[in-house]
Structure 1
Amino acid sequence: MSKQKDFDMNLLRVFVSVCQTGSFTKASEELDLTQSSVSNAIRRLKKALGNELFTRSGRGIEMTAFGKHFFEAVEPSVMSLVNTIGRDDRFEPLTSSRNFIVYALESVLPRLQIRLRELLKGSNITVTLKELPSNEEETFDALMREKVDLVLDVMKPHQSSLKSVIVSEDAACCIVRIGHPRIFGEITHEQYFNEDHAFLNMRRVKQTITEFLAKEVLPKRTMGSEHTSMLGMMACVAQSDFVGVNSVRLVSQYKEQFKLQMLPLPFSTRTTSIHMIWSIKSQSNSANQWLRELIIAAERD
C-alpha cells in the first residue's frame, strides 16, 4: 500500500458494498452515490493496493482471489463501524409507531399473522407479512437495500453480508380428502405410488416439495395437477382423489376447513428449518433487534 497517511478510508465502505451486493449499480443505490463515483472509488482502491479486486463474469462481477481475501479481512471492521454509526437507539416499543416488513414462506404466514396480532395488541407497531418472492436474488437484494426488515426462509443464506438463526422447524405430510375411495387413516408405499398426484413445485430449486425433502430417490409418480401454492394444492386435493405432499404446519391449521386427512408419508423425508435472516447492517439496530425477538417469541409458541 502507498502512503498510509494518505489512504482514504471511505474507499473501504464502497468496496465492501460492491462485494456484498455483487454490483456497482446496486452499491451506488445503497450508498446514494453515482455509479461513476463507485467505479472511481474502486479504481482508486485498486491503485492503492496494487492488485485487481474484481473481474467481469458474464453480466456481473466476481471478486478476484486477492479481492476476496481483502474483503474477508476488512468487512467485519467496516460493518461494525457502519452499525455503530447507524444505530437507532430512539426506538421504544411502548411508545414508538412503526411498520415493519417481513418476507415469509407461505407455510409460515397464517399462524405467524395470528400470533403477531396477539402479541402486538394495543401497540402502535405493525408488522406487514409478505409472501417470499420466488427469486432468491430479489429476496436478499431487498434485505441489503433495507426494503424489508427480515426474511423467514428454509434456505440458509451463504452471503457474509447476511446473518441468520433457526426459529422453528417444519415437516412434510401426505394429504388426501376425507372420503377418499381407497385411502383411510394411513397410506402404504404401494398405494402412494399407484395414485395420481397433485405436484407442489418449489420454483427456486426447480423441484417438487417431495423431491426436495425425500431422503431417497423416489419412483416416478403420475401427475394429476401442478401447483406453486400450498393452499391452492390443498384446495385441489380436497376436491379430487389426488394425493399430495404439503407442510405439517399449514395442513394442521387448515385440514378441518378443507376436510383433509393428514397422514404420515410412507418414505423418509427431511425436516425443514425455518431461518430468520437479516442484513448485517441491521445487527445493532435496536428496532431490528426488537423485531427479531418478537418473531422468535411468535414462532416459539
Structure 2
Amino acid sequence: MPKSNHFDLNLLRVFLSVYKTGSYSMTAEALDLTPSAVSHAIKRLNTQLGETLFQRKNVGVEATFVAHDLFKQVSPAFNTIEQSILGYEKFSPENSTRSFKVFVPDVFISDMIPRLQKINQTGADIICVALPPDDEQIYDALMSGDVDLVVDYVDPRVSSVTSVLTAQEDICCVVRKDHPRVGKQVDYSGYFAESHAKLNLRRFDTRAAETLAKVPLPERKTHSEHNSLYSMIYTVAHSEALGISPTRLAKEFQSTLPIRLMQVPFEISKIDVWVNWPKKLENNQANQWLRSIVIQSLSN
C-alpha cells in the first residue's frame, strides 16, 4: 500500500511503460522523458509501495513478481481512463502534419501505397509498414501505439481489438504471357507438372496455395520462394514458373509486366482482409479518419 495519501498517478504511467518495454531508455523515448527521470520515477514508486518492481539485467530491466501483480491490477483501469480521454481528442486532417503507421501484409503493401496517396489529400502522412510474422508482436505494437492500425488476413479475435472484414480477394493463377506450355487455361495435371514461384504467407509459416486450397494439394515443384508479391509476379513474368496472386493485385501488374491471368485449377478460398484497431480508440477522431481512408483504399 502507498505510504502517502498524495499518490502521483504519473508514476503508474511510467511503470506501465517500463513493464511493457523492459527498458528505461525506450520508456523515456515513448514518454518524452530522460532515462534518469524514468529511473527516478520507478525508485519513487518502489518507495511508495515498499516493494521492488524491476531488477536490472545486462540489457534493460526485468519485472519482479510484484510488478507482474501490479500490472494485472492497474493496466485495465488505465486503459479505461485512456479510452475516455482519447475519445475527446480533436483532429483536423486538412491541417494535420501527423504521421500514422499501419501494419500491412507484404501481399498488399505495394498496391496500398499508391491507393492511399491518391485518396489522402491532406497534410497527414500514412506510412505502410510490413506486417511482422508474430501475432504477439503485431498486437503489442498496436496496443502500445507504436502502430495506429493493422491490416491483416487473420481475424485476431482479441478482446481489446475491434476488427472489421473489409474485403475478400479472389485468387488467380499467373503465368508469363508467352509461356511455351500453358495456354489460356491450365488444367489440374498441367498445373502440377510446372514449377512454381511460391508466395510465402509468413503468418501461417506456409505457402499461399497450400493455405488457401480447399483440398489437400500434391507437392508442387519449387522454382523460387518469395515474401513479396511483386517479386513473385516479376519472377513469373520472366521465367516459366507459375504463381498465384490476389486477382485485383495481379491486374495492376498487367499493364507493366508480360503476364496472363487464369483460373486456378482447384477449389481455392478467397483471402479475407481485416482492418483492426484498439477498442480504446473507437471514438478517437484521428483513428476514425485513418481507418476510413485505409478501408476505402482496400475496398476500391
Give TM-score scaled by structure 1 length. 0.73
Deviates more, 1:259-268 or 1:239-248: 239-248
Aligned to 1:145: 144
Aligned to 1:106: 106
Equivalent residue letter for 1:145: S
- Partner of 1:176, secondary structure, is strand
Aligned to 1:161: 160
Q: Aligned pair count?
A: 298
Aligned counterparts of 1:159 and 1:29: Cα–Cα separation in 2? 27
Aligned to 1:45: none
For residue 262 of structure 1, report the CA deviation from its aligned partner. Answer: 0.7
Equivalent residue letter for 1:127: D
Describe how 1:82-231 pairs up with structure 2 within 5 A: 82-93=82-93, 95-103=94-102, 104-120=104-120, 123-136=121-134, 137-231=136-230
- Partner of 2:243, secondary structure, is strand
Aligned to 2:281: 282
- Partner of 1:258, secondary structure, is coil
Change (3 A) 1:172 1:18: farther
Change (3 A) 1:129 1:185: farther
Aligned to 2:81: 81
Aligned counterparts of 1:243 and 1:167: Cα–Cα separation in 2? 28
Aligned counterparts of 1:261 and 1:287: Cα–Cα separation in 2? 41
For residue 153 of structure 1, report the CA deviation from its aligned partner. Answer: 0.9
Change (3 A) 1:300 1:222: closer
Aligned counterparts of 2:155 and 2:27: Cα–Cα separation in 1? 23
Aligned to 1:272: 271
- Partner of 1:125, secondary structure, is coil
Change (3 A) 1:111 1:201: closer
For residue 80 of structure 1, report the CA deviation from its aligned partner. Answer: 3.5
8 Å CA contact retained: 1:20, 1:160:
no
8 Å CA contact retained: 1:171, 1:271:
yes
For residue 244 of structure 1, report the CA deviation from its aligned partner. Answer: 1.1
- Partner of 2:114, secondary structure, is helix
For residue 16 of structure 1, report the CA deviation from its aligned partner. Answer: 9.1
Change (3 A) 1:297 1:222: closer
8 Å CA contact retained: 2:168, 2:272:
yes
Aligned counterparts of 2:26 and 2:215: Cα–Cα separation in 1? 41
Aligned to 1:67: none
Percent identical pairs in the alignment equals 34
Q: Which runs of 5+ in 2 are unaligned?
A: 1-7, 34-70
8 Å CA contact retained: 1:175, 1:243:
yes
For residue 86 of structure 1, report the CA deviation from its aligned partner. Answer: 3.0
Change (3 A) 1:10 1:215: farther
Aligned counterparts of 1:279 and 1:18: Cα–Cα separation in 2? 20
- Partner of 1:107, secondary structure, is helix
Equivalent residue letter for 1:129: I
Aligned counterparts of 1:31 and 1:281: Cα–Cα separation in 2? 19
Deviates more, 1:74-83 or 1:12-21: 12-21
Aligned to 1:44: none
For residue 73 of structure 1, report the CA deviation from its aligned partner. Answer: 11
Aligned counterparts of 1:298 and 1:133: Cα–Cα separation in 2? 17
Aligned counterparts of 1:119 and 1:230: Cα–Cα separation in 2? 23
Equivalent residue letter for 1:222: K
8 Å CA contact retained: 1:21, 1:27:
yes
- Partner of 1:257, secondary structure, is coil
- For the aligned residue pairs, the C-alpha RMSD in angstroms reads 4.2
For residue 9 of structure 1, report the CA deviation from its aligned partner. Answer: 9.7
Equivalent residue letter for 1:107: V
Q: Which runs of 5+ in 1 are unaligned?
A: 1-7, 34-70
For residue 88 of structure 1, report the CA deviation from its aligned partner. Answer: 4.6
For residue 150 of structure 1, report the CA deviation from its aligned partner. Answer: 0.9
Equivalent residue letter for 1:209: A
CA deviation map 1:50-97 (0-9, x unaligned): xxxxxxxxxxxxxxxxxxxxx99998775343211233533122x422
Give TM-score scaled by structure 2 length. 0.74
- Partner of 1:157, secondary structure, is coil
For residue 255 of structure 1, report the CA deviation from its aligned partner. Answer: 2.1
CA deviation map 1:96-148 (0-9, x unaligned): 2233333312333344333332333xx44233332423332332222122121
